[in-house]
Amino acid sequence: MGDGVAKVVNRLREAQENGKLDLSECGLTQIPDAVYMMMKDITVQSCDLSQNLLQSLPKKFCSKFSKVTELNISGNKLHTLPDELRNLQELQDFDASSNNLDRIPQVVFQCVKLKQLNVHSNCISEVDVMRLEAMDSLETLNIKGNPLPDDVKSQLSDSRLNIIKS
């Protein structure tokens, strides 16, 4: 068994015990079907897919791990997120930093329990501040390291949210 495969298998076994799926730094370009099979009867509360090579978050992931409260997909190569992300109705802490997002995906606004949103170091140049403000549960937005225009920075400065922008 290769080192990468062994690493994933060991982490899946740990997740079966504690409900925290950590597949960070596994060199993943996709999420193997074995992940879904081994975790099918486990309620995953936390999932870390950071520092991989993912170019997309599979739709299947969002339906299979719908009880996730924490999701870290930072340090991948994501340009967008699937509409199925709205199925993560328990999601409270979402880290999509260090990807290739050019805006906060519309589906994020449908995550009704989201408290923390980290989109640090993407390519975000436009932000729907009114929609962010309308998210009752959202408390903190980390948007630093993005090429925000001055008018957006000004709107964010007037926001009720705890904004991390520099």
Query: How do the domains of the chain map onto residue ranges?
Result: 3-164
Give the global pTM: 0.95
Q: Classify 162 as helix, strand or coil.
A: strand
Does an H or E element contain 11, and which?
Answer: helix 3-18
> Which residue, 165, 155, 118, is CA-closest to 133?
155
Q: Are 125 and 149 contacting, i.e. CB atoms less than 8 angstroms apart?
A: yes
CA distance 96 to 116: 11
Query: What DSSP character marks residue 24?
Result: T
State how far the Cα of 110 lies from the Cα of 108, in Å rounded to an integer. 5
The CATH classification number of 3-164 equals 3.80.10.10
Whose structure tokens read 């991989």? 52
Q: Could you read off the pLDDT tens digit of each residue along the chain, which spans 166 residues?
A: 467 788 999 999 999 999 999 999 999 999 999 899 999 999 999 999 999 999 999 999 999 999 999 999 999 999 999 999 999 999 999 999 999 999 999 999 999 999 999 999 999 999 999 999 999 999 999 999 999 999 999 999 888 889 887 6
Based on the number of CB atoms within 10 Å of its own CB, is 49 exposed (0-12), middle (13-18) or buried (19 or more)? buried
**Which residues does 156 contact at the CB level (< 8 Å), separation at least 6?**
127, 129, 141, 143, 148, 163, 165
Indicate the SS3 state at residue 20: strand
